[in-house]
Structure 1
Amino acid sequence: MDKNELLKYMPDYYNSVYEMEELLKSQSKGLYQFDDEINRTLLNEFIIQADEKGISVFEDQAGIKPDLGASLETRRNNVLLRLLPPKPLTTRYLNHLLEIMNLKSKVRVDHAKHLAIVEAKSTDITPDKVNSMKYMLNITLPATMIYDIKINLAQADTQRELYLGIVNTADSYISIQANTAQIDFQK
């Protein structure tokens, strides 16, 4: 918001009225100071964009006691999982939950073994995200289904090259006898 935002909305009949212009300028400055707080309050109404204060309100409403060392993202995911409406459990729904929680991984289900396999790359996942994934799977999967989290290590190509250089050196030594007759060394 501009510091003189209210002047743009001043009616034409107040043009060249000094008192009205100064009044709107002073009110614009006050409004400008509170604009960030108004926007933050608006964003705190949505779980995905809420800050720590907003998430704590949602946790209080859902009856969640946050862990002391939990990051904001983990707390946000816990609130989302608690407050999302229940849907039929499908592979597509599980992948959608992982996408919402910003966990870059995919779910496969082996129905015969009652096994859900979650695969992720080691470059995309952190220990905090693994804990969020475990929490999500513990809440959404039925009690008769187990899960396995596989983290694929990143592949790196290395070149094995050997550089060999050969250098020939030669040392030369010359010894010359000095002519001492030219200089008197006795003095």
Structure 2
Amino acid sequence: MRLLKKYLPSLYRENKEMEGLMNAEQSIYDEAETDIKFAFSRQFVVTADEKGVEQYEKILGIMPTATDSLEFRKRHVITRLSTTPPYTLNYLKQQLTMIFGADNFNAWVDYGKRELYVDSFINNISLFFEFETFIAKVKPANMIYIYRSLVLPKVGVSSRYLAGWGKWNYKLDGTWNLGAKPFYSDDTTEEWNYKLDGTWNLGAKPFATYYLGEIKMNNQSSVTPFTLNYSASKLKEIITKVVINNTITVNSSDFLNFNVSGGRITFDVLVETANILIENVKIHAGENIIDDATLAVKSGENARIRFEIEYKEAF
């Protein structure tokens, strides 16, 4: 904050009346300066506070939920403000990066069939409906939009290499002569050579102790592609079904494109029940659950969910 007294002419700086006047007006000036800064920051969505974002939401007709964070509400507003022509695939990808984050989606167009595909993972209902609203505004009317929910759990495989250094607790080099003296001698006085009062705890330590330590360098890749692919192949063999919302079951015999490549299991599942909100998907091996994912996907006619389980080396 700026001090008003600094701007007084030198003639008035020692004047008590002017000093009192400046002190009284300082708080009014500070409040006005704060209001000006808030007014300026609220002109931009990125720097706006909660009250500023609330004004944007009223203008755009956005109804936030009680659980929406301020950052999510800002993204919501920016998405609405960004829906202006021209619309291109690159523009679409830029906006999807803002919604999902980089590398969390895949979007492409089959121009021959006039179909727009978007693969991603959404587990937030508010985010899903915001995404649907955005697509409805930017998609050409003569193009079919197909959303495929992507379930991508990652399974880590790691290896460790340890080496040991030994320490002899009871050395047999002559320094520890067990049997050199009896446990008890009764001559003229009583003498215990190996007292059993806690001062000589035979067996408290092993004869040798080994200390193991890591000898493999951090972040060094050692698990081979063969191991990752073999692990994925074995998991694929025991996958029996997918259960959606605990009510819809799709058996593995009905999976589409069920295969393993590069340590990754992939398959598609068609959901024939239309107009339902898919909120939970479980991958089963018999009655055991391999993966349990929370989603937010509204199924249309023949909705398709892409599943990918990837084996990667864990560090």
Q: Do both proteins adopt the same fold according to a TM-score greater than 0.5, normalized to the shorter chain?
A: yes
147-156 or 15-24, which deviates more: 147-156
> Paired residue for 2:108?
109
- The answer to whether the Cα contact below 8 Å between 1:109 and 1:116 also exists between their aligned partners in 2 is yes
- Give the superposed CA RMSD: 3.9
2:182 maps to 1:175: yes
- Could you tell me how far apart the structure 2 residues matched to 1:54 and 1:72 are? 11
- Preserved CA contact (<8 Å) 1:91 1:107: no
Q: Distance in 1 between matches of 2:60 and 2:7?
A: 42
1:94 Cα shift? Answer: 2.1
Whether 1:132 aligns to 2:114 is no
Q: Supply the distance in 2 between the matched residues of 1:157 and 1:45 (Cα, whole angstroms).
A: 50
Q: Secondary structure of 1:64's partner?
A: coil
1:42 aligned partner: 40
CA–CA distance in 2 between the matches of 1:66 and 1:148? 26
Does structure 1 conserve the Cα–Cα contact (< 8 Å) formed by 2:99 and 2:131?
A: no
Shift in Å at residue 150 of structure 1? Answer: 4.9
Deviations along 1:3-31, one digit per CA (max 9) or x if unpaired, are: x2x23333566555443343223322332
Q: Provide the rounded CA distance (Å) in 2 between the counterparts of 1:109 and 1:22.
A: 69
Partner of 1:123: none
2:30 paired residue number: 32
**Which residue in 2 is equivalent to 1:84?**
82
Question: TM-score if structure 2 supplies the norm length?
Answer: 0.43
Partner Cα separation in structure 2 for residue 176 and residue 16 of structure 1: 96
Runs of 4+, deviation exceeding 6 Å: 151-157
Residue 146 of structure 1 corresponds to 146
Q: Identity of paired residues, percent?
A: 22
- CA gap of 1:177–1:54, structure 2 versus 1, over 3 A, is closer
Q: Would you tell me which structure has more strand in proportion to its own residues?
A: 2
- Contact kept, 8 Å, 2:93 with 2:107, in 1: the verdict is no
Q: Sort the Cα spacing of 1:154 and 1:18 in 2 relative to 1 into closer, same or farther, 3 A.
A: farther
Contact map agreement 2:116 2:144 (CA 8 A) in 1: no
Letter in 2 for 1:136: F
Q: Is the 1:47–1:55 Cα contact (8 Å) retained in structure 2?
A: yes
Maintained 8 Å contact 1:137/1:147: no
Distance 1:10 1:76 in 2: 43
* 1:32 positional shift: 2.4
Match of 1:75 among 73, 76, 92: 73
Contact kept in structure 2, 1:115 and 1:148, CA below 8 Å: no
Deviation at 1:76, TM superposition (A): 1.7
8 A Cα contact 2:83 2:134, kept in partner: no
Count of residue correspondences: 175
Residues 34-86 of structure 1: CA distance to partner in whole angstroms, max 9, x if unpaired?
A: 54344223322322222222222211111222122212122222222223351
| TM-score of the two chains, using structure 1 as the length reference | 0.66
Note if contact 1:109-1:117 (Cα within 8 Å) is conserved in structure 2. yes
Higher relative contact order (CA 8 A, sep 6+): 2
Report what 1:51 is aligned to. 49
Distance across 2 between alignment mates of 1:19 and 1:127: 65
C-alpha spacing 1:179/1:64, structure 2 compared with 1 (3 Å): closer
Using a 3 Å threshold, how does the CA distance of structure 1 residues 166 and 9 change in structure 2: closer, same or farther? Answer: closer
